[in-house]
Structure 1
Amino acid sequence: MLRNTHSGYGLIAIVFHWTMALLIVGMLALGLYMSTLPPTSADAFKLYQLHKSIGFVVLALAIVRLAWRFANPAPKLPEGMSGIERLLAHLAHIGLYGLMFALPLTGWVMVSASPWNIPTILFDTVPVPHLPVPSILGDKPTAEALMKMLHENGAWLLIALLVAHVAAALKHHFVSRDTTLQRMISTRPARANG
């Protein structure tokens, strides 16, 4: 089953979910590690290029994933969820999708505004042009500082949302004993753990 149904996710949505989960967790870990390195070290340069390359992959996948989501609506939430749980689930998903776009874009603008003018070369192969920095952001150093602050704070917000997302999935599986987690692991019809 490739497409989503009213009760479960299809293989394409599952592959998108887990591929992006691995990439995003890897990006967050890499970003945290990079922030401990002196910016002029040779290792830092290579890791920043890798971070930027994977960031563009995440951005491209987020675009395709969102298009797929519009064409294949997500399954309905479990019947036993309260109104507040439903609201929090929707807000968390909006936040996760928003950050999948915001973090790569703020990173791209930050690099574009940097006075170091370091090129971005995806996987040491494809050059990516710098974006024009809108004058509304101020001069380049001001724009770079703003984008850096947004990028770093967005990363911490993403970490918080991911922790909440995993906690909610585990709560559904072990406490509520519904099929929420199971249907993101397998395309087979899910059964409650009752």
Structure 2
Amino acid sequence: MLSNTSERWGSISIALHWLSAVAVIGLFASGWWISTLTYYHPWYNAAPWWHKSFGITLLAMTLLRVVWRLVTPTPRPLEHRHEALAAKLGHGLIYLLLLTVLCSGYLISTAEGSPISVFGWFEILASWRFSRQATLMGTLHWYAAWSLVILAAGHALFALKHHFLDHRATLTRMLGRGS
């Protein structure tokens, strides 16, 4: 089943969710590692290239995910009304932070006017530049990335709470097993 129903997430939503989760964790870890590299480190040039390529891929995937979310139904909430509202706000904040991290990363990478090579397949051109762009966007990127990872960890913990303590199918639905 590709599309969502009122009872369960479809395989497209599930795949986009888990691919995004892996990408966020990987990009956060690699970004942290990149910040420790010295000029003479063998990965000094290659690691940012991979980081940017996967970042642009995650941006495309996120935009696809937002469109998919708008055009397909979502399963009915299994939580109480106040929990469902909190979940909706939390998911909205995750999307906002994700787009903030990705767009600020783009603006850091293009601050000098150079395009971003995506796996050597094509380039994303620099759109515009402004004063202190790399510095300002670097600060935003750092704090938004930390906020995203902390919120995503909370998201995971609540999914585990719903599964193990509340005995709800919230987690199993995102694993493709239905309610």
Q: TM-score, normalised by structure 2?
A: 0.92
Equivalent AA in structure 1 for residue 25 of structure 2: V
Q: Quick check: 1:110–1:143 contact (8 Å CA) kept in 2? A: yes
Flag the 1:153–1:62 CA change in 2: closer, same or farther, 3 A: same
Q: Distance in 1 between matches of 2:39 and 2:86?
A: 39
Q: Does 1:122 align with 2:109?
A: no
Is the CA contact (8 Å cut-off) linking 1:103 and 1:154 kept in structure 2?
yes
Pick one of 98, 105, 108 that aligns with 2:106.
108
Query: What is the CA distance between 1:118 and its match in structure 2?
Result: 5.4
Structure 2 gaps of 5+ residues are none
Aligned positions of 1:29-178 closer than 5 A = 29-39=29-39, 41-78=41-78, 80-83=79-82, 85-114=83-112, 119-133=115-129, 135=130, 139=131, 142-178=132-168
* CA deviation profile, 1:75-110 (whole Å, cap 9, x unmatched): 1211x4251x22321111011111222111101111
Q: Is the CA contact (8 Å cut-off) linking 2:3 and 2:9 kept in structure 1?
A: yes
Residues matched between the structures, number: 179
The 1:126–1:39 alpha-carbon spacing in structure 2 relative to 1, beyond 3 Å, is farther
Give 1:48 deviation, angstroms.
0.4
Stretches of structure 1 that go unaligned for 5 or more consecutive residues are: none
Amino acid in structure 1 at the alignment position of 2:85: L
**Rg larger for:** 1
1:127 match: secondary structure:
strand
Q: Give the C-alpha shift of residue 50 in structure 1.
A: 0.4
Q: Is the 1:108–1:131 Cα contact (8 Å) retained in structure 2?
A: no
